[in-house]
Copies of this chain bind each other. A is one copy, B any other.
Amino acid sequence: MSSDRPLILVTNDDGISAKGIRSLASAMEPFGEIVVIAPDSAQSGMGHAITINHPLRLESSYLFGENVAYACSGTPVDCVKLGIYEVLHKKPDLVVSGINHGANTSTNVLYSGTMSAAVEGAMEGIPSIGFSLCSFDSNADFGVSKQVVNTVVREVLSKGLPKEICLNVNIPDIAMDDFKGVKVCRQAHAFWEDRFDKRFDQFGKPYYWLTGDFYDQDKSENTDLYWIERGYASIVPTQFDMTAYKAMKELENWNL
């Protein structure tokens, strides 16, 4: 690898063979040297999980041509850690994660392996971005996504990111002609209404599939859901400090 171009770690949570990470890797090639380290299978919904109770495997992958690529048996966060400490042996200049097949708007940031990889990058002090397309289609069209990736990565590489912050970028599933632009905004306070699909196995014992519907209970403006619905890509600057500073005052009156 040449040393003057940015070194870019590419990961995702849909697994190394997903169309989304192929689109992301190809969009990143003009920006620097890319190294792909991605889960060997789908890791959607893994959040910030790390693998500590069993060992991890890394297998070289041919899927990205000349570029160095590894499939990892662990989670997206494991991929970032292994990438830094066992593959690159140094911190890359940028971590990009995605392009996720499905939105990671609103509170989905907490469940999202794609975004947790970016958050892990931020915890390592590396500028990091998670990209998600609002379509679960495994053969989705990543045309608009590539344009958004290009714009956002260009700005991040030239201006850097605020300390301890990564970006959560969501892209609407629309045609290029309908795409309106990019908006910086906040995470909507919207939630899943969970349900379980209860079934019975061949022994008559129950098992459960998690399902449900996502509702935008947050009707305010300038949220990620607000802009996505209006044809914009959303960028939510995302932090790993989960302290509710405003609530600290209220608790100071407690009888502790």
Q: Enumerate chain A interface residues (CB-CB to B < 8 A).
A: 42, 44-53, 55-58, 75, 77-78, 81-82, 84-86, 107, 109-111, 116, 119, 123-124, 151-152, 155, 159, 161-162, 164-165, 181-187, 189, 191, 194-196, 198-199, 205-210, 235-248, 250-252, 254-256
Contact A244 B194 (CB under 8 A): no
Contact B237 A51 (CB under 8 A): no
Distance to closest chain B CB from A9 (angstroms): 14
User: Using Cβ atoms and an 8 Å threshold, which residues of chain B touch A250?
Assistant: 162, 237
Contact B207 A57 (CB under 8 A): yes
User: Using Cβ atoms and an 8 Å threshold, which residues of chain B touch A77?
Assistant: 47, 111
Write the chain B residue with the least CB distance to A197. Answer: B55
Distance to closest chain B CB from A48 (angstroms): 3
Contacts A53-B42, A240-B110 given; does A182 touch B256 at CB 8 Å: yes
User: Using Cβ atoms and an 8 Å threshold, which residues of chain B touch A189?
Assistant: 164, 241
Contact A198 B86 (CB under 8 A): yes
Contact A256 B235 (CB under 8 A): yes
Q: Looking at A187, A241, A242, A243, which has the most chain B CB atoms within 10 Å of its CB?
A: A242
Contact A109 B252 (CB under 8 A): no
